[in-house]
Amino acid sequence: MRPRLAWRPGGVVLRAASFFMVGTILLTIGDAVRAVPCPEGCTRFGTCNEELGRCDCPKHRTGPACATELGPEALAARCEALGYKGGGPGGMDRCLSPANHCLGACSGAGECVAGFCKCAEGKFGADCSLSLGPDGRPRLLADRGYTPRARGPRVYVYELPPEMTTWRNSVTLDRPTARLFLERLTATGTRVAEGAGADWWLLPLGLRALDGERLLEAVRYVREHHPWWNQTQGHRHMVFALGDTGRRESEKGGRTRNMTFVSHWGLWRDRPRSGWKASHRNDTDIVLPVFLPPPYLKRLGLAASRHHPRFQDRALPELRQRSGPLFWFSGRICGDGLPPLTDAPTPRCRTSKSSGYSGGTRRKVYLSHWNRTGFLMTQSDPLYGQHMLTSRYCFGPMGGGHGQRQVQAALAGCVPVLISDGVLEPFEPALDWGAFGVRLPGGERDIPRLHEVLAGIGPEEYALKLSRLRCAAQHMAFSTLLGAAMGEGGRYDAVETLLELLRSKAQHPGVPWEGLRAVDGQLDAFLDCRSGEGAEGEEAEREAEEGEGAEADGGGAGAAGDARAEGASGRREGAAGARGWGPRRRAQLPVAPPRRGHVRGRPLDLAACPRPWP
């Protein structure tokens, strides 16, 4: 028994907390629980992190107990420093806008103040999900019967000061994946309240371009306030870095060497002609598929997927057969963004500006194959969706950094062609894109004989690729967030795949990513979509029949941003596929994805999410 001081608005309350100081956990409990109270009156305007004794204020307040409201100038300066730009003086309109999304809707235990959760007394955490138990140790959603799921992984989320996390602009956040993942951690039961005994430690930053200082600050903070960074030397600590060129642009210095960066960019060696530096580190990092919300896919004409079991019955007749091009691509071809010239003497780009765009591969493929029978490469295709759905092979190149067409193709059911030397695709090397997609044996050198490679793929091999693609596509889809568009159950979606990789890596820390499948049968089965439990979407299909679609609406901002980054000509491209599906139904998951909630900030109760698989 040790007394613990906790401050309450009315004054000091002496609270007796019992500690069962059992051998091995003694140290960490000792660290986690500090009898440092929050300044008096903290919870009047702010949130008291009871574990750290830190008083967090909403972004328009300051002072030890948030008692002072910032004046207009100070507020404008703070907002600007946080990245609020445009729209009103210093972007203040947006800075204090209620449209800023609160994590997990403050777990129903707090008030959302422009993205910051002002938690009810005794609750704390960026989403108010934490409280201290009678033993003085943190609990997650204690009054809601939260228990971590058996399969794991156990992910601990650091509670960083709000200026690093929830104060930041979520209105214009164009890649919301990191935030969504945070909410999903709680919903799946993979989040744990205590860092001791966790498999992974997450720094909940959504890094995007040149955020290196912010990352270092966060690392400094966790090193100082918690024991786990020093204990692990930064291993099994993770962060999302979702900028176009991944880790490299979000990291500064070597301090974060052992961290796992989750990014979209798997470039593991330099490509000087493109001005790219190696970004992905094979031993630590993970490539995550780009988040493509349904409204965006719909705009591209990709509301339908060939993987859906009812595609053949429901799709428009012109979509049913693979009667489109043999090889198809639409988007920027020349780095300068201008359409290539095909008049005499040879086809060429008009200028050599940005000739390293897409690693030069779009240009090279075009120059070798522009007029080949069955090949369609165009700058802008009014039948974008239709062609992606009806072509046999779709080119999935890089952009000005990572690309997204390989993911679009996988989702739509077109066999992706990967020509990007030195780049790992999403979830590689655990997943083998060569098994369900096409890679040239000699990589980019073989571009001139692409047609021969494709011609060499017989009907049986093609059918095999397609059947594997149906599973791989599930790993690329964020179905547990956005709903199921392929009649899948959500078991193998991108979030679950990431979690499964984290689980496996934590259990086999010495095994490189490419070796995990061989030593971990559970992972092997998972990656082949044959784990059993709650996997197939039978229920989903039945519900789709009944017409109660989830109508997932992810907001679209995320992928639109990606498309901009890549210079995709997607926006105006083809509505043909969009009307192609016919019935406006989307198979519903056993886990109903929150309607709009995640992206748009509608209330949602993560604690109440069913967990259809263990």
Residue 24: Cβ-neighbour burial (10 angstroms; 0-12, 13-18, 19+): exposed
Measured distance CA(234)–CA(223) in Å, rounded: 9
CB of 266 to ligand NAG, least distance (A): 9
Q: Which residues contact 427 (CB under 8 A, 6 or more apart)?
A: 286, 287, 288, 289, 475, 497, 501
Q: Which range in 92-100, 254-262, 479-487, 530-538 contacts ligand NAG by CB under 6 A?
A: 254-262
By CB under 6 A, is residue 230 in contact with ligand NAG?
A: yes
Q: Which range in 64-72, 237-245, 249-257, 531-539 contacts ligand NAG by CB under 6 A?
A: 249-257
Measured distance CA(391)–CA(496) in Å, rounded: 29
Alpha helices in 26-154 (DSSP H): 26-32, 42-45, 72-81, 92-95
- Residue number with CB closer to ligand NAG (230 or 323): 230
In the structure encoding, which two tokens stand for residue 140, read together?
Answer: 């997650």
By CB under 6 A, is residue 268 in contact with ligand NAG?
A: yes
Q: Which range in 251-259, 438-446, 547-555, 591-599 contacts ligand NAG by CB under 6 A?
A: 251-259
**List 85, 220, 257, 353, residue binding ligand NAG (CB under 6 A):** 257
Interface mask (CB under 6 A) for ligand NAG, residues 580-599, using x and -?
--------------------
By CB under 6 A, is residue 270 in contact with ligand NAG?
A: no
CA 227 to chain centre: 27
By CB under 6 A, is residue 429 in contact with ligand NAG?
A: yes
Measured distance CA(230)–CA(228) in Å, rounded: 5
By CB under 6 A, is residue 514 in contact with ligand NAG?
A: yes
CB of 504 to ligand NAG, least distance (A): 17
**What does R_g of the chain's alpha carbons equal in angstroms?**
25
Q: How many residues bind ligand NAG (CB under 6 A)?
A: 17
CB-CB contact of 188 with 590 (8 Å): no
By CB under 6 A, is residue 441 in contact with ligand NAG?
A: no
Q: Which range in 68-76, 228-236, 286-294, 398-406 contacts ligand NAG by CB under 6 A?
A: 228-236
DSSP per residue over 235-299, as a string? TTEEEEE-STTTHHHH--SSTTTTSEEEES-EE-S-BGGGTBPP---TTT-EE------HHHHHH
From residue 576, alpha-carbon distances to 256, 376, 391, 416, 460 in Å are 47, 17, 14, 21, 30
By three-state DSSP, how is residue 128 classified? Answer: coil
**List 23, 24, 150, 346, residue binding ligand NAG (CB under 6 A):** 346
CB-CB contact of 302 with 412 (8 Å): yes
What sign has the CA pseudo-torsion 431, 437, 441, 446? Answer: negative
Q: Which residues contact 521 (CB under 8 A, 6 or more apart)?
A: none
CB-CB contact of 422 with 269 (8 Å): yes
- Residue number with CB closer to ligand NAG (97 or 258): 258
- Residue number with CB closer to ligand NAG (227 or 309): 227
CB of 382 to ligand NAG, least distance (A): 23
Q: Which range in 224-232, 473-481, 553-561, 584-592 contacts ligand NAG by CB under 6 A?
A: 224-232
Measured distance CA(117)–CA(102) in Å, rounded: 6
**List 233, 321, 352, 467, residue binding ligand NAG (CB under 6 A):** 233
- Residue number with CB closer to ligand NAG (64 or 374): 374
What single-letter amino acid sits at 448?
A: P
**List 39, 88, 227, 356, residue binding ligand NAG (CB under 6 A):** 227
Place of tokens 């179905």: 479
Measured distance CA(127)–CA(130) in Å, rounded: 8
CB of 404 to ligand NAG, least distance (A): 21
Q: Which 464-503 residues touch ligand NAG, going by CB under 6 A?
A: none
CB-CB contact of 22 with 196 (8 Å): no
- Residue number with CB closer to ligand NAG (172 or 232): 232
CA-nearest of 224, 262, 230 to 502 is 262
Q: Which 520-559 residues touch ligand NAG, going by CB under 6 A?
A: none
Q: Which range in 96-104, 128-136, 227-235, 576-584 contacts ligand NAG by CB under 6 A?
A: 227-235
Q: Which range in 148-156, 158-166, 192-200, 226-234 contacts ligand NAG by CB under 6 A?
A: 226-234
By CB under 6 A, is residue 347 in contact with ligand NAG?
A: yes
**List 62, 169, 172, 282, residue binding ligand NAG (CB under 6 A):** 282
**List 224, 313, 343, 460, residue binding ligand NAG (CB under 6 A):** 224
**List 68, 169, 258, 355, residue binding ligand NAG (CB under 6 A):** 258
CB of 109 to ligand NAG, least distance (A): 29
Q: Which letter does DSSP use for residue 498 in this model?
A: H
CB of 449 to ligand NAG, least distance (A): 15
Q: Which residues contact 295 (CB under 8 A, 6 or more apart)?
A: 553, 554, 555, 556
- Residue number with CB closer to ligand NAG (64 or 429): 429
**List 234, 325, 340, 397, residue binding ligand NAG (CB under 6 A):** 234
By CB under 6 A, is residue 254 in contact with ligand NAG?
A: yes
CA 237 to chain centre: 16
**List 20, 343, 371, 441, residue binding ligand NAG (CB under 6 A):** 371
Residues engaged in binding ligand NAG (CB under 6 A): 223-224, 227, 230, 233-234, 254-255, 257-258, 268, 282, 346-347, 371, 429, 514
